[in-house]
Amino acid sequence: MSDAVLHEVSEGVLTVSFNRPDKKNALTLAMYDALLERLASADEDPSVRAIVVRGEGGSFTAGNDLSDFMKNPPASMDSPVGRVLGILPKLRTPLIAAVDGAAVGIGTTLLMHCDLVYCSDRSKFKMPFVPLGLCPEAGSSYLLPRMAGRVKATELLLLGKTFDGATALDIGLVNEVLPPDAVDARAAEVAREVAALPPASVRLTKALIGQASRDLLLEAMKREGDEFIGRLRSPEAAEAMQAFFQKRAPDFSKFE
C-alpha cells in the first residue's frame, strides 16, 4: 500500500496524491496512516510552505473503502481515520485541494478543512452518510451550514445526493471550477504563490481566520466522532452496508 499515497516536494510545495485509480482512490486504513505521516511531517518542516492534495486517474477519492473499513471499524478517534481528522483543524501549513472526478464522503468533507480548493467541471461531490445509516463527520455538521446556509446544508447532508462543481462553487466549497486538464496546474500555481509569501505571515493569517471558531469546530468533531462510531454498530448501518455489498436497495421500513 506504500504506492497508494504518493508524495513529492518541489519549490516548497508538498504534493500528496491518492493513487488507487482502479478503485477511484477509495481510502484504506493504510492510506490514512500514510496521509497522516505526510501531513504531520510537512507541518513540522519549515521548508514546506504549502500542501496540495489530489487524486490520480480522474478521481479525487471515492471516500472510504467500505470493504477495508468495515473489517476494522474505528472504535475511537485514535483510529487511522480519527487521527487524520484530528490533524486537519490543527495544520499550520496551508492546505490546497485539486479535485477531479469523484469526491465522496471524506472526499467532500476534507475539502471543508482546506484553505483553497480547485475542482474540474466534471467533479461530483457526495456525502452519503445518512443513507448509509451513519451521520456527518469531519466537522461537516458545523462547517457546511456556515458555508452554504442551514437549509442547503440540511439538503446535502440529510439526503446525501450528488452535486456538481457549479453547486460546490455556489455554496463556497471551492474557489474555482476549471476544465479537467487545468485543475492540477492551477492548484500547483497557487501553491507556489503561497510558498513564496512570508511564511510566518501566512501561518498567522491562516490561524487568525480559523481562530474564532476553532473550539466550536473541535467540539463538533468530537461529538460527530462519538456518534459516528456508535452508528457504525447500529442495525440501520448493518442493513445499509449489507445492501451495498449485495447491490440492492436497503430496507429501513422495520426501523423506528
For the chain, domains (ranges, CATH) are 2-179 (3.90.226.10)
Q: Which pLDDT belongs to residue 149?
A: 95
Secondary structure element (H or E) that encloses residue 9, with its range = strand 5-10
Distances (CA, A) of 235 to 33, 187, 219, 249: 29, 42, 27, 15
Residues in the chain: 256
Q: How many CB atoms lie within 10 A of CB 238?
A: 14
> What was the pLDDT predicted at 2?
63
Residue 224: the pLDDT is 95
Residue 181's nearest CA partner among 139, 129, 120, 134 is 120
The reported pTM is 0.93
Render each residue's pLDDT in the chain as its tens digit; 256 residues: 569 999 999 999 999 999 999 999 999 999 999 999 999 999 999 999 999 999 999 999 999 998 888 888 887 788 899 999 999 999 999 999 999 999 999 999 999 999 999 999 999 999 999 999 999 999 999 999 999 999 999 999 999 999 999 999 999 999 999 999 999 999 999 999 999 999 999 999 999 998 888 899 999 999 999 999 999 899 999 899 889 889 899 888 888 7
